[in-house]
Amino acid sequence: MNTDRAKKFLLDGSYGDRLLKIHPDLGPLPDLANTRYPHDVFNLHQGYLDAGSEILLTNTFGCNLTRLSQANALHLQNELLLGGIQIARQAAVNKAYIAACLGPQGFGKKDSIKQKTVLEKNLVHTLELIAHEKVDLIVFETQYHYEEILLNLNTAQKVLKNRVPVWLSLTVTHDGAPLFASEHPDWLKTFEDLGIHWLGFNCGFGPESILKAIQKTKDQTQIPLTAKPNLGLPENIQNLGIKKSQKEFIKYAQEIINLGITAIGACCQSSPDDILNLSQLLNHQKL
């Protein structure tokens, strides 16, 4: 797929918290729906497609060593990962691109070299599996640990060899800065040098923080920027006062679109209705 700035893509919205609302038994790993409730995952993809989404993220946010181990589901990694890709592909059928989604593991500078080696070995396996499925993008989403991002991007370079575009999406603080920005002021150049094709911001402290992130970054890079602001936080996270109305969400989304980003969607507590609202904003801008 062409990942340059010329085209504006409409992304999708939340998967995990929507699946948990109808299937609480999924617990801390909504990825389990890929085998337990594949029809519901398919229907959610279809809802986003009907709303206008042009890129579908796979329901594989937690398909990593850490999250799977915590849920006693590491033995299901291949099945959940391949299932998530296949369900998205069945829904898309030439109507949308597929982005294989990998969430954070929480690896940081305090973790040992041994732990890094274990995580890297599993990540190599994961990326090889994804590359074999010929997805259109790989997105490392909701990333917040500098050391983990370096591990992800270095491993992706070695394994993928530019066969699949890499999209990095960071979560940010209230003021729109990555959590590691003060300690690593050259983070943007470092990530650019590691070959990312898209740089995005998602989740965080609501759409205002994503707007600030785009404002801070847009004149510092030629890499296409993406945004997936959230309307709230997953229900298993303590309430931090982040609950935006659709009206507030659309207000900030319009400002984000006006900054010239390449792709926009939504994150936690969003639905196909929110993506439909974004579609209408994008269509209005094209007129």
Closest CA to 146 of 170, 123, 113: 170
Task: Please check the confidence at residue 287 and state whether its pLDDT lies above 50.
Answer: no
Residues paired with 227 in a beta bridge: 201, 264
pLDDT value of residue 106: 82
Question: Global pTM?
Answer: 0.94
User: Which CATH number is associated with domain 9-286?
Assistant: 3.20.20.330
CA 220 to chain centre: 22
> What is the gyration radius of the CA atoms in the chain, in angstroms?
17
Structural domain spans, the chain = 9-286
**What is the mean predicted confidence (pLDDT) over 106-122?**
83
Q: Are strands 55-57 and 97-102 parallel, antiparallel or unpaired?
A: parallel
Q: Which amino acid is at 146?
A: Y
Query: What does the pLDDT look like over 156-212, one tens digit per residue?
Result: 999 999 899 999 999 999 999 999 999 999 999 999 999 999 999 998 888 999 999
Here the tokens at position 43 are: 């229907």
Other CB atoms within 10 A of residue 229 CB: 30
Angle at the Cα of 239 from the Cα atoms of 236 and 244, rounded to 5 degrees: 110
Task: Please check the confidence at residue 239 and state whether its pLDDT lies above 90.
Answer: no
Q: Please give the share of the chain, as a percent, with pLDDT higher than 70.
A: 93
Q: Rounded to an integer, what distance in angstroms lies between the CA atom of residue 88 and that of residue 157?
A: 25
Average pLDDT of every residue of the chain: 91
Phi-psi bin for 198: left (phi > 0), alpha (psi -120 to 50), beta? Answer: beta
pLDDT value of residue 242: 56
Confidence of residue 5 (pLDDT cuts 50, 70, 90): low
Angle at the Cα of 90 from the Cα atoms of 85 and 95, rounded to 5 degrees: 105
Closest CA to 164 of 211, 208, 123, 196: 196
Query: What does the pLDDT look like over 9-26, one tens digit per residue?
Result: 999 999 999 999 999 999
